[in-house]
Amino acid sequence: MSTTPEQAYAALFERLREKLEGINFFSRQYLDWDSPKIRQPALLSVATDMTPVPRTRGLTPQWNLGATVLLYLRNDGENTETRCQELIAQVHAALQLQDGELPIPGGQYETTLGDLVLWAKVDGTVEIYQGQAGTQTAVLIPIGMFVK
């Protein structure tokens, strides 16, 4: 049975929520860093794009999916740069092949999110914005997934 894009996005969110330490707020919904709902450090995992992959008639579609993981941190006197790098490393580690997951033939070591996707990985340039509004840091991590 094929994985739906929603199942893949939900699995990505759950993996990040399970693996990242020191996060006070998680959401799959985009929120501005100054939203009253957010307690920082915060992680948002937001779906950004879906591209269908053509297949033979009658087969369920495959999808290339995009998401952005946003990390929000306040500059509170600690070394925010160090904390940013720690959280980026945790996201990267969460997307590595986990115990019990089988890599795709010829694949690298990206996670399959419990065999729901062929791969999920950091897929592009990680952007770090420090000093936004004086005390705010935002990190944008692009994620790519291929749904089987």
Q: What percent of the chain has pLDDT over 70?
A: 93
Is pTM beyond 0.85? Reply is: yes
Instruction: Report the distance separating Cα 136 and Cα 7, nearest Å.
Output: 32
- pLDDT class of 77 with cuts at 50, 70, 90: low
Report the alpha-carbon distance of residue 51 to residue 118 in Å, rounded.
15
Question: CA neighbours within 13 Å on the CB side: how many for 138?
Answer: 14
Q: Indicate the residue type of 113.
A: L
Instruction: Give pLDDT, residue 113.
Output: 93
For residue 105, the model assigns a pLDDT of 67
Place 108 in a pLDDT band, splitting at 50, 70 and 90: low
**pLDDT interval class at 26 (50, 70, 90):** very high
